[in-house]
Amino acid sequence: MDVPTSIYYVAIILSLYTIYGIVYRLYLSPISKFPGPKLAAITWWYEYYYDVILRGKYIWKIQELHERYGPIIRINPYELHVIDPTFRDTLYAGSAKNKRDRWSWHARGMGIDYSMLGTVEHNLHRQRRAALGSFFSKQNVERLQEVMDERIDTFLTRLRHCAEIGKVVNIDHAYSAFTNDVVMQYCFGRNDHRVEADNFDPTFHAVSFNAGISGTMMRHNHWIMRPEAASFVILKRERIDQLEAIRREGKATTNDTSHATIFHDLLKSNLPESEKTSERLAEEAVLLVGAGTHTAAWALTVMTFHLLSQPTLLKQLKDELKTVQPEIGETFELARLEKLPFLTAVIKEGLRLSYGATSRLPRVAPDTPLAYEDWVIPPGTPVSMMIPLTHHYETIFPDSYSFKPSRWLDDATGHLDKYLVSFSRGSRACLGINLAWSELYLCAAGLFSKFGTKENGRLADGGFMELYETDVSDVQIERDLFFPVVKDGSKGVRVKFTT
């Protein structure tokens, strides 16, 4: 057989294989009857175009497709997406009876296959989560208040110095420095003092943020090392070095602490040795530190923008904080802050408009079908929902892009709480929810009790804040790249501090 003939037969085989694939996906697949564009059912290139070529725009195409096809649609050859928020508790349930696996294709882009987030199988995920769960209980997080208070005091001192010289601060960098110092202290018994760093260490913020957004690109191009993925490699190497230092010393790397530290205790635990390798725990550390840094920091950033944009809301918050103002030399009591209705409403609205993770969160019920309205979803089918599309579901959150703490105050029955899903739901919900809430309460109370705006007509203890060359487009999501990404060219939420 000569070469041209060989090429001819190869071409025929490939053509037949392609035709079979198209026919199977359109007519024979277990999800062939579900509505959606035919091109998305046939090929991955449909999703690739919106998520890779247009960089994180598939979220808005999915929203558009729901408007055309209905509440449940097929968005690629294997995956369904549901926009109806009432389905969330069904999809994200998780127990011994209702297993929910992660979809392996979606997990592969993260580069943290051995962490909780990257763990596909339900039971293994439960084992890994159980090993960490007690550290993030409300009781254990409350023991961290001394650490948070010290970091907040240093944070406010830095901002007072900024006010004395009229400095403009990228407030997301500042909040990220605070939240990173806290989570590093909890994980490793030491922190990098980013709050004290020049400009709150924007280099770290960029490296950490790029490590997160690399997942979307790597999911489709997992054989290519993209520039963003290099950031993840840097972070993982740093965490491996820290874990090896703990192993060598058998104690905190810089100082003893009055609270438990996660990785010291994990390394001393009775977990199987295969679960305690530096390679695996480094991936867990990258996840904990990254999520523990960005979620709370971005929520605080969004809250700050909207409060400074609406000074009457800030005045209302400051007036409420006065009712629990601690004595000089003392700190806010977390338990008292948690009972403040307006502060709680401000935080909830900040979480709603900051989303947490914006990525699709597919789940697979491996053994049982799922039911949605008249549809029966076959076992083994990846089904996803997206937090931003829930938080902007107008039937539940009217005027959803507006910052309105009043929507939570008017919700006497707590009906809206089940649709605030910044930390997801079910057995794979964010482990650090109690830590994040504590940071939000304590940091917001500390900052907004000390700093105010000139519109309030009175000098605040710490000075004044005003937005600097910043508008709503600097906090409004444009792209889903695991984290919410705003417009191209944004310089961040910049705040000018003055006396």
Which residues are annotated binding-site positions for heme? 430
CATH number of 78-498, picked from 1.10.260.30, 1.10.630.10, 3.10.20.90, 3.10.150.10:
1.10.630.10
pLDDT at 362: 96
The segments of the chain whose pLDDT lies below 70 read 1-3, 96, 109-110, 211-213, 215, 222-232, 250-260, 457-460
pLDDT at 156: 96
pLDDT at 265: 86
pLDDT at 460: 63
CA 290 – CA 410 distance, rounded (Å): 34
- pLDDT tens across 163-199, in order? 999 999 999 999 999 999 999 999 988 889 999 999 9
The full set of domain ranges for the chain reads: 78-498
- pLDDT tens across 279-295, in order? 899 999 988 998 899 99
CB 386 within 8 A of CB 349: no
Question: Residue 48 to residues 39, 67, 283, 346, 479: CA-CA distances in angstroms?
Answer: 12, 21, 27, 37, 14
Contacts 24+ apart (CB under 8 A), 65-74: 65/36, 65/37, 65/40, 66/389, 69/35, 69/36, 69/37, 70/35, 71/372, 71/373, 72/34, 72/35, 72/372, 72/373, 72/375, 73/34, 73/35, 73/36, 74/31, 74/34, 74/35, 74/36, 74/40, 74/41
Q: To the nearest 10°, the Cα dihedral for 91, 96, 97, 99?
A: 40
- HSE value, Cβ hemisphere, 13 Å, CA-based, for 280: 14
Which residues are annotated binding-site positions? 430
CB 88 within 8 A of CB 95: no
